[in-house]
């Protein structure tokens, strides 16, 4: 069933469920998958994904790759896993679920300013072009409230996956099978600082840098400075301005995952075991 345009896939998914579908497979990019997820949240019907669109972070995260036919063969052997979703609330839009990530600040400004024509012509490269352009400007900071503490940041990533944009790993210890977020905060208004951040991300050493904070949380609040307009993105799509709240919704979606991925689920922690404090 082809989508007829943006914001139509959620309705198609709901219609399929109402008509008795016992499986929904979506072939598309992360934006299309996000729409389908919003039409399927809290249902028991499993969703399977096939790579398509500008990027498909979810397919890469699951180890399905970027080619349709091998991914379809893997999908046929996949198993259902109940996973948690993120939920983004803003003052300007309806609450939206997400399977992957939400970002505030720098990356959301890039998403907001990348034109559909450039995205269609250049694919993922359009975001790198946007990043270079915005990387030469002073970056406004905002406040992120995490676990009862406030942090200053010009870019905040609240994520359920390690893969970012199909090319990088910013968060390194999170899994779709976890029931919380990994939160990565980058501080600083000087754009040159982000060259150092990018190099550290590529080397896997970002959390060692001054100005980078890595946390685990189930809820994050983004507070808006009075004199600035800061944006937020969700699964690579523009989601409006701050302020915003991001929260975890436990066990909200049944996702088909390869058997090898399912085996990475951590065993339940015994009541008498305490986790080390970060």
| Interval 86-98: pLDDT, tens | 999 998 889 999 9
Say yes or no: 105 and 75 in one domain: no
Instruction: List Cβ neighbours of 91 (8 Å cut-off, separation of 6 or more).
Output: 240, 243
Q: Is residue 273 part of a domain?
A: no
Residue 56 pLDDT class (50, 70, 90 cuts)? confident
Task: Give the structural domain span for 17.
Answer: 9-84+251-262
Question: With left for phi above 0 and alpha for psi between -120 and 50, is residue 20 left, alpha or beta?
Answer: left
| Interval 162-201: pLDDT, tens | 999 767 899 999 999 999 999 999 999 998 898 899 899 9
Say yes or no: 95 and 120 in one domain: yes
Global pTM?
0.87
Say yes or no: 43 and 94 in one domain: no
Beta strands in 53-141 (DSSP E): 79-90, 96-98, 101-105
- CATH code for position 126: 2.60.200.40
* Tally of domains within the chain: 2
Say yes or no: 149 and 14 in one domain: no
């Amino acid at each position: 069933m082809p989508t007829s345009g943006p914001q139509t896939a959620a309705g198609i998914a709901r219609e399929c469920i109402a008509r008795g579908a016992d499986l929904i497979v979506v072939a598309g990019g992360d934006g299309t998958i996000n729409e389908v997820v919003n039409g399927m949240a809290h249902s028991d019907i499993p969703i399977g994904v096939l790579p398509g669109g500008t990027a498909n972070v979810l397919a890469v995260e699951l180890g399905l790759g970027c080619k349709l036919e091998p991914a379809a063969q893997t999908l046929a052997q996949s198993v259902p896993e109940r996973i948690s979703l993120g939920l983004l609330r803003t003052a300007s839009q309806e609450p939206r679920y997400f399977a992957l990530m939400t970002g505030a600040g720098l990356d959301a400004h890039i998403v907001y300013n990348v034109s559909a024509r450039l995205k269609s012509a250049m694919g993922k490269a359009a975001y790198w072009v946007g990043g270079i352009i915005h990387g030469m400007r002073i970056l406004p900071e905002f406040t992120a409230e995490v676990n009862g503490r406030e942090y200053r940041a010009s870019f905040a990533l609240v994520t359920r996956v390690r893969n970012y944009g199909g090319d990088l790993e910013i968060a390194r210890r999170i899994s779709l099978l976890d029931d919380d977020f990994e939160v990565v905060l980058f501080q600083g208004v000087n754009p040159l600082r982000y060259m150092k951040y990018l190099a550290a991300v590529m080397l896997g050493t970002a959390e060692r840098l001054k100005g980078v904070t890595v946390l685990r949380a189930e809820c994050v609040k983004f507070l808006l400075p009075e004199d600035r307009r800061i944006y937020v993105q969700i699964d690579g799509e523009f989601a409006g301005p701050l302020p915003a709240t991001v929260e975890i919704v436990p066990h909200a979606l049944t996702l088909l995952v390869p058997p090898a991925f399912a085996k990475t689920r951590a065993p339940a922690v015994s009541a008498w075991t305490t986790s080390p404090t970060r």
